[in-house]
Amino acid sequence: MKKIIAASAVILIAVFMLFYTVDNTETVIITRLGKPVRVVGEAGLHLMIPFVESKSAVTKRLMYYTSKPSQVITKDKKSILIDNYCVWRVKDPLKLRLAVVNERGATQRIDDVIYAGLRVELAKHDLIEIINESRRKIMDAVTVIAKEKAEEFGVEIVDIRIRKADLPKENEKNIFARMITERERIAKQYRSEGQEEAQKIHAKTDMDAAVIVAEAEKNAQIIKGEADAKAIQIYAAAFNADPAFYEYNTLINFYKDNKKPMKIVIGTDSRFFKLIKDSR
């Protein structure tokens, strides 16, 4: 009876080990006597040889990796502490198994690859550029480098970004002082360029105004000359029509335009007296 029970137990264990399931979020690697023989990515129930074959699962999900702060030297020989994160997934489970064994080994290799890429790229930029402008450009370049390296051990890099960039404590005061000096220099340059541009605008405005005034005076003189010529023509026509009246009118206007009070003594032999007498 005991033998039957023992045999049944062995059979049940064998049957249990004969079947295995694959979840839709994972890929299973089947090894035979320690050597990988196949990769199963289809979800469901599958068979393997008990006691000879074994399985190990590798997730298909995206994984998130955060590095410890690492010190990197910039182009202008400044130290900076970089803390980055990486989003990745297993692309080739068999290559991963042969190269780094598991996800933990992959994480260590990813950390090495990213740090090497950061050292190369940050060495091409000054500290002020990294802080202000070029961080995204730098990380895009690091991502390209890391993707190429990660494919060698079956990993796909999805994204890499800097979480935090800090200055070493001993360098903070010097760096901030230099940053302030640099900002003041840039501000002074902008003010100088603005004043120069303002002077150019004022000079151009004054020149345009002088041209406009000269043109206006020229036009005024032309108009005035044309008006005087026309007036002379009118006077000449009036004089030719009635010379006596023209002379009379001229004298009247002369005395009318004289605003100062005055007494006029007219002799009987004067031209004005004769004009008044003839007009009557």
- What is the residue-level pLDDT of the chain in tens, covering all 280 positions? 666 666 666 666 666 778 888 999 999 999 988 888 999 988 888 988 888 888 889 999 999 989 888 888 888 888 888 888 999 999 999 999 889 888 889 999 999 999 998 888 888 888 777 776 667 888 888 899 999 999 999 999 999 988 887 777 666 666 677 778 888 889 999 999 999 999 989 988 989 898 899 898 888 898 988 888 888 788 777 767 766 666 667 666 666 666 566 666 666 666 666 666 665 5
Closest CA to 71 of 206, 166, 184, 179: 166
Q: At what angle do helices 271-279 and 243-257 cross, to 10 degrees?
A: 120
Position 157 scores a pLDDT of: 94
Q: Give the C-alpha separation, 160 to 64, whole Å.
A: 10
C-alpha distances out from residue 205 to 201, 210, 211, 213, 215, Å: 6, 9, 10, 12, 15
- Rounded Cα distance between 23 and 55, Å, is 13
CATH topology of domain 63-166: Tetrahydropterin Synthase; Chain A (3.30.479)
In this prediction, residue 244 carries a pLDDT of 67
Q: Give me the pLDDT at residue 8, please.
A: 64
Encoding tokens for residue 143? Answer: 């991502």
pLDDT in the model for residue 163: 84
Q: Is 254 exposed, middle or buried (0-12, 13-18, 19+ CB in 10 A)?
A: exposed
